[in-house]
Amino acid sequence: MSEKVLMKGNEALAEAAIMAGCHHYFGYPITPQTEVAAYMAKRMPKIDGGVFLQAESEIAAINMVIGVAATGKRVMTSSSSPGISLKSEGLSYLAGCDLPALVVNVQRGGPGLGGIQPSQSDYFQATRGAGHGDFHTLVLAPNSVQEMVDMVFKGFDLAEKYRIPAMILSDGTMGQMMEPVSLDMGEIKEYDKSWALTGTKGERKPNIVNSLFLEASELEKFNFERFERYKQIEENEAMYEEYRMEDAEICVVAFGVASRVSQNAIDEARKQGIKVGMIRPITLWPFPKKVLNAAADKVKAFISVELSMGQMIEDIELAIRCKKPVELCNRVGGMIPSTAEVLEKIKEVNGGVK
Amino acid sequence: MVSNNLTSKRITVFAGHYGSGKTNIAVNYAIYLNDLGNKTVIADLDIVNPYFRTKDSEKILKDKGIKLISSEYANTNVDVPALPAETYSVFADKDCKGVLDVGGDDRGALALGRYVPLILEENDYEMLFVINKHRFMTGTPEGTIEIMKEIEDACGLKFTGIVNNSNIGEETTVETVVSSMEYAKNVSQLSGLPIKMTTVWDAIYDKAKEEIEENLFPLKMYVKQSWLKERDE
C-alpha cells in the first residue's frame, strides 16, 4: 500500500485518471468542477505524451473525446450540470459508435444556470443516457474521495470492457471535500481493441467508427446487439453497499453526499432504538434492483434521500415493484439535508408504519 | 504556542498551495490574536474558490468580536471574483492586528498583489507559507519550493516564514506531524525561511507537545459539516 495523500475530490478524479492511463483530457471551465481542469493543466505537461486542452466550448471538448476514444486511448472530460447538457449530443455519439470514455459531472443546482452549490438533480439525465436515441451510460456515484479514485479506475475498466461511455456522477461537495486517499490501484486490465483507428500500415482493412447506418435494418441490428450488452451489464455490474441492514425495518436509499448525511442520521436513530439501515447504490445505472427488491420483502418502508425533487425515488419504486411505500426526504437548489432533517423523516416514517 | 516575535507583527498573511489549510489556520490564528487582547480583523482575499470560505466561520468570529471582511458574494451563487473596498481598512487602521487569508496557489495570490505596496510601505508584516507534506503537489521539498516561487511571483511579496500544516485529515496522528518535521526542515533549508509554526489538531496537542517543542500551534475545527463522520470522543 502506497502512502496516503490528502486530496480534494476534484483533484483525486484528475490524478486517478492519469494513473489509470488517461493521458488525454479535454475540458472547459465551469464551477464547481474547474479544479479538475486546472489540475490537469498543471499535471498533463509533466506526463510523457500527456495532452491537456482547454477547448473553445463543452461541445468541442466532447467531440475531441470522441476522436481520441476512436483510437482506443483512454480519454476523459469533465464538466458541471449545464456543461453536461451541452455534452449530451456527444454522449449519444459515443454510445452510437460503441466507444469507451469517461465523463465526469460535478453537479450543481438547476435547472437553467441554477447555482454553483451541490446538487443531485442530474440523476435522470445521467441514468437515462443524457442524449438522444436508445442508449445507456454506465453511471458511478462515489461517496468518498477514496471511492472517487476507485470509481475512476472502475469506470475506465468497465467502459473498455463493454465499449460504452461511463460517467462519474459527483457533486459540488464531493468535489471540494478533502480526505486521505491511497492512489495504489493495482493493474490496468487490457481489452481487445482491434476496432480502434490506429492506422492500417497497409496491412489490414481500415476500421470504421461510425454511428450512421444507411439501412434501417442494420441500425436495428446494432441496437439489439448493444442492448444484449446492456443486459449483461445489468446482470453483472450493479454495485451497492449495505449499512446496518441486518434487522432493519426501514431502509434509507441514498447515494453520494446524501448517503454520508444519512449514515450519521441512521447512527443517531439506532441510538434511539429505531431499526433503520441503508442501501447505498454505487452504480446508478445499472441500478441495484435485486438487493432493493429483496429488501422490500423485509422492511416496512423506504426513504429516498436526495438532493433533487425526487428522481431516484422512481427507480426505487420500479425496483421494488411498489411493494412498500417510498418516502422522499430532500433539499434542492444547492442545499444539503441536515442530519436532523433525515433523522426527523426516519422518526416520522417509523411512527407512521408501526 | 507561537513566539512573541510573530504575534507582535501588525499584518499576518497566510498563503500557500490550494487546499493546504490556509483558511482554517487564519481563522484559528485570528482567534488566538484576539484572545491575547488584540483588536483583530480577518480579511478573506480568496477569489478562486467559492466553497469553504472564511465566511463559514462568521458566527464564531462574531461571537469573539473579531471583524470579518469578506466578499458579499462568498457562499452565494454569485461566482464573481470581487473583493470589498472595506479590505483597505485593514491597512488604514494601524491599531488593529490584520490577518489576511489568501487564495490558493499563484492564481489565488494574484489578488494579494494590489495590497502589497501598502504592506511594504508599513513594513510590519509576516507572510507565511502554509505547507502540507501529504498534499500530492507539495509531497517533495522541491515541488513545494516551486509553488512557493509561483506565489511570490504572482503577488510580488516574499515569504518570511513557514507554517508546517502537514496532516492527513481525519487520519492524522502525532506520528504524522512528527514525521513531517524533516520535510519542513528541508523546505526551510531550501528556501532560507524559518519554520514559524507547526500546527496540530487540539485533540492531540498535548501528546504532540512532548515531541515537538518549538512553535506548536493547536487548531480547532470551528465549522462542522453534516456529511463528516460523527466522531465518538
pLDDT digits (tens, 9 = 90+) for A222-258: 999 999 999 999 999 999 999 999 999 999 999 999 9
What cell does A202 get?
A: 497497409
**Cα distance between residue A172 and residue A58, in whole Å:** 18
Same domain, yes or no, for A58 and A86? yes
Are B50 and A177 a contacting pair at CB < 8 A?
no
Q: Flag whether A334 is in a domain.
A: yes
Chain A residue whose CA is closest to B75: A117
Question: Which chain B residues touch A5 with a CB distance below 8 Å?
Answer: 134-136, 139, 168
Chain B residue whose CA is closest to A261: B227
- Domain segments of chain B as ranges: 4-219
Q: Does the pLDDT value for residue B6 go beyond 90?
A: no
Q: Flag whether A160 is in a domain.
A: yes
Question: Which chain B residues touch A146 with a CB distance below 8 Å?
Answer: none
**Cα distance between residue A48 and residue A44, in whole Å:** 8
Are B169 and A32 a contacting pair at CB < 8 A?
no
Domain with residue A338: its CATH number is: 3.40.50.920
Cβ of residue A334 closer than 8 Å to a chain B Cβ: yes
pLDDT confidence bin for A150, thresholds 50/70/90 = very high
Same domain, yes or no, for A230 and A274? no
What cell does B128 get?
A: 507565511
Q: Output the pLDDT for position B74.
A: 72
Same domain, yes or no, for A227 and A275? no
Name which of B18, B79, B137 is nearest A31 (Cβ-Cβ).
B79
Partners of B11 in beta bridges: B98, B125
Are A176 and B139 a contacting pair at CB < 8 A?
no
Choosing among A6, A146, A305, A329, which should be mutated to test the B contact, i.e. which has the most B CBs within 10 A?
Answer: A6
Q: Is residue B126 within 8 Å of residue B12, measured between CB atoms?
A: yes
CA distance B212 to chain A (A): 22
Pairing of strands A24-27, A51-54: parallel
What cell does A45 get?
A: 505537461
Q: Is residue A13 within 8 Å of residue A171, measured between CB atoms?
A: no
Helices A145-162 and A9-19 sit at what angle, rounded to 10 degrees? 40
Q: Flag whether A211 is in a domain.
A: no
CA distance A271 to chain B (A): 13
Q: Output the pLDDT for position B93.
A: 96
Same domain, yes or no, for A34 and A47? yes
pLDDT confidence bin for B232, thresholds 50/70/90 = very low
Question: Which chain A residues touch B107 with a CB distance below 8 Å?
Answer: 38
Which residues 88-127 of A are in CB contact (within 8 Å) with B?
109, 114-117
Same domain, yes or no, for A229 and A262? no
pLDDT confidence bin for A1, thresholds 50/70/90 = very low
A138-148, pLDDT tens digit by residue? 999 999 999 99
Q: Which long-range contacts (CB under 8 A, 24 or more apart) does A182-186 make?
A: A182/A1, A182/A2, A182/A3, A182/A4, A182/A146, A182/A149, A183/A2, A183/A5, A183/A15, A183/A16, A183/A19, A183/A149, A184/A1, A184/A2, A185/A16, A185/A19, A185/A20, A185/A149, A185/A150, A185/A153
What CATH superfamily classification does B4-219 receive? Answer: P-loop containing nucleotide triphosphate hydrolases (3.40.50.300)
Same domain, yes or no, for A232 and A256? no
Q: Flag whether A205 is in a domain.
A: no
Question: Which chain B residues touch A334 with a CB distance below 8 Å?
Answer: 77
Query: If you average pLDDT over every residue of chain A, what do you get?
Result: 96
Same domain, yes or no, for A22 and A126? yes
Query: If you average pLDDT over every residue of chain B, what do you get?
Result: 91
Q: Output the pLDDT for position A352.
A: 74
Residue type at B62? Answer: K
Q: Output the pLDDT for position B48.
A: 77
Cβ of residue A256 closer than 8 Å to a chain B Cβ: no
Q: Output the pLDDT for position A185.
A: 81
Same domain, yes or no, for A47 and A27? yes
Same domain, yes or no, for A230 and A284? no
Name which of A114, A115, A336 is nearest B226 (Cβ-Cβ).
A336
**Cα distance between residue B131 and residue A71, in whole Å:** 41
Same domain, yes or no, for A281 and A345? yes
CA distance B19 to chain A (A): 8
Least confident residue range of A23-32, A101-110, B159-168, B221-230: B221-230
Are A339 and B226 a contacting pair at CB < 8 A?
yes
Q: Does the pLDDT value for residue B229 go beyond 70?
A: no
Chain A residue whose CA is closest to B53: A176
B29-65, pLDDT tens digit by residue? 999 999 999 999 999 998 877 677 788 888 999 999 9
Domains in chain A, number = 2
Q: Flag whether A213 is in a domain.
A: no
- Residue B21 vs residue A75, higher pLDDT: A75
- Residue B212 vs residue A124, higher pLDDT: A124
B119-134, pLDDT tens digit by residue? 999 999 999 999 999 9
Burial bucket for residue B123 (CB in 10 Å: 0-12, 13-18, 19+): exposed
Same domain, yes or no, for A294 and A172? no
Are B136 and A11 a contacting pair at CB < 8 A?
yes
Are B168 and A180 a contacting pair at CB < 8 A?
yes
Partners of B199 in beta bridges: B217
- Residue A70 vs residue B227, higher pLDDT: A70
Name which of A6, A109, A263 is nearest B169 (Cβ-Cβ).
A6
B172-198, pLDDT tens digit by residue? 999 999 999 999 999 999 999 999 999
Are A117 and B139 a contacting pair at CB < 8 A?
no
Domain with residue A39: its CATH number is: 3.40.50.970
Choosing among A1, A2, A4, A5, which should be mutated to test the B contact, i.e. which has the most B CBs within 10 A?
Answer: A5
Over range A270-296, report the average pLDDT: 98
Q: Flag whether A209 is in a domain.
A: no
Q: Does the pLDDT value for residue B1 go beyond 80?
A: no
Are B170 and A179 a contacting pair at CB < 8 A?
yes
CA distance A180 to chain B (A): 6
Supply the range of the domain harboring residue A99: 5-200+223-236
Same domain, yes or no, for A17 and A68? yes
